A and B are shown apart, each in its own frame.
Chain A
Amino acid sequence: MLASGFVLDFLKGPTLALQDFCLLTGRAMRNVTRQPHYSDDIKLQMDSIGVGSIPIVLLTGFFSGAVMALQMGRALQQYGQTGRTGTVVSIILVRELGPVLTSLMVAGRNASGIASELGSMKVTEQIDAMRALGTDPIQKLVTPRMIATGVMLPCLTVIDDFVGMVGGWIIGKLLYDLDALQYWSQTWHALVWSDVAQGLLKPFVYSFVISLIGCFYGLRASGGTQGVGRATTQAMVAASVTILILNLFMGLIFVKYSGT
């Protein structure tokens, strides 16, 4: 009896947090179709989240594609199949590494950024002031960030995929003397529509994870600057772990229903 009571008490906190997260998600989604729409805030966030993340996405994409070509080329060399490097780089980047690495980079940069920004507003009563001034903080702060991340993360993933392929090509050319035409025709022909769908759907789903988790922890921040720091760390860790878990399940769904 005592143990079950302890377990129930232990589960109360996480269950309440999950309930609050679901309510926040529901309200943020509902606001997409509701007036007023804060288009200026959406544009501002698209610039901050999307354009601001381009440098890290370029670096991540290039070096992950390059290192993949380096290791795959070496492995394929044993079977005399170095020419297939483009195929392997293309499939792995578009299906898995592109969406996951881009999302993790954006989560590290923006989930924490959103949490710290909203957390600071929360502890200095700016969120209460917003409510008192007749504005819904979810409509003004959460929905624009959710829309902006939903639009920009798939775009960033496409950039990451392409730059990764360029990185793979440079390594293939320098180390394995791959022909450019052969490499690019293989990367192109290796991809089927379900790969492209998977590569775009995954970041779209992860965009909600990043923006909503960042906003959730920010809006729950309490206890001054220390609380804001804690919210920032929790948001980044929770968003990254959720992305990795979701990635496995989404991968399983695609393998089961599309065979890729």
Chain B
Amino acid sequence: MAATNLLEFDKVSVEFEAGVRVLNEVSFAVPEGQTRIIMGAAGSGKTVLLKTAMGLNRACGGSVRLLGEDITHKPENQLFEIRARVGMLFQDSALFDSMTVAQNVAYPLLNQKSIQIPRDKMEDKVRESLRFVELEQAITKYPSELSGGMRRRAAIARAVVTGPPLLLYDSPTAGLDPITAHTIMALIIKERDMDNTTALVVTHRYQDGNLVANFRYNPDNGTLDPASEKATNTVFMVLREGRLVFEGTQTELEACSDEYVGKFVKKPEMAA
């Protein structure tokens, strides 16, 4: 039986100024359990694509189906309940700077109508989420007191605290050193494999996609173990000036002869 599509784009176009399309007739579908790596140069429409998937940006053409519902023309007040079932990590974390880490993580639990958690269970849930990202020690700190990597981890904790089936990560490793970037990607893989979530990961680093496609989280020793591309169910997409120019597996990506697509791929002989 075919898996249900959690997100579907059908010829979606987005315009901010008349005649200037930042997304141009983009079509794809994300079935349950799949991880999509979205790559592209700066300004190619990666972030716009994620925000359109959440209904934060409106499509001027085509249709967007999120968790089985057509959100293209839904009024804003009807979108909140749907968005509550999707977790999103923003590019600069977007933590509420007047709240502590604990308050940030508790925010979806306190403010989403569909979440019914007793107040006395709230702290346990927040701690559990922070433990998942190994940030429990920073529970009382404010975002301004955290490093870039810690902020990203706190934002992941906030995104996953309600256990959403779909997660959208916007450049999770942007601006981080390689070690911290690896830690963040390991968390994304851990979340995927522990909770079987579907995810869209926007990145411009090929190694991030490579890690997601070829490694699985081992809960026994807490490390990443090599896995087959098929086992991780990872698909790559490449955007160029708002158009989807590539969609396929990592093997297909590496075999692609397109010059633009090739720029994002670190081929084995090049790496050597």
Which residue numbers of A lie inside 8 Å of B, CB to CB? 35-36, 120-121, 124-126, 128-136, 140
Contact = CB atoms under 8 A, between A and B. Distances in A.
Contacts of A133: 83-84, 107-108, 111-112, 158
Given A36-B113, A140-B111, A132 B96 contact: no
B54 interface: yes
Contact of B76 (A36, A125, A129, A136): A136
A95 B135 CA distance: 58
9 contacts: A36-B111, A121-B96, A129-B95, A132-B56, A132-B83, A132-B88, A132-B90, A133-B112, A135-B111
Given A36-B113, A133-B107, A133-B112, A128 B80 contact: no
Contacts, number: 62
A135 B80 contact: yes
Contacts of A132: 54, 56, 83, 86, 88, 90
Contacts of A120: 97
Contacts of A140: 111
A133 B81 CA distance: 9
Contact of B90 (A121, A129, A134): A129
Nearest to A34: B77
B69 interface: no
Interface residues of B, number: 26
A25 to B, nearest CB: 16
A134 B94 contact: no
B80 A125 contact: no
Contacts of B79: 131
Nearest to B115: A134
Nearest to B83: A134
Nearest to A135: B111
Interface string B56-82: 100000000000000000001101110
Interface string B88-127: 1011101111000000000110011110000000000000
A115 B114 CA distance: 31
Q: Would you list the 4 A-B pairs with minimal beta carbon distance, nearest first? A: A134-B84, A129-B94, A125-B94, A134-B112
A229 to B, nearest CB: 18
Contacts of A128: 51, 56, 90, 94
B91 A125 contact: yes
Contacts of B113: 35-36, 134
Contacts of A129: 88, 90, 94-96
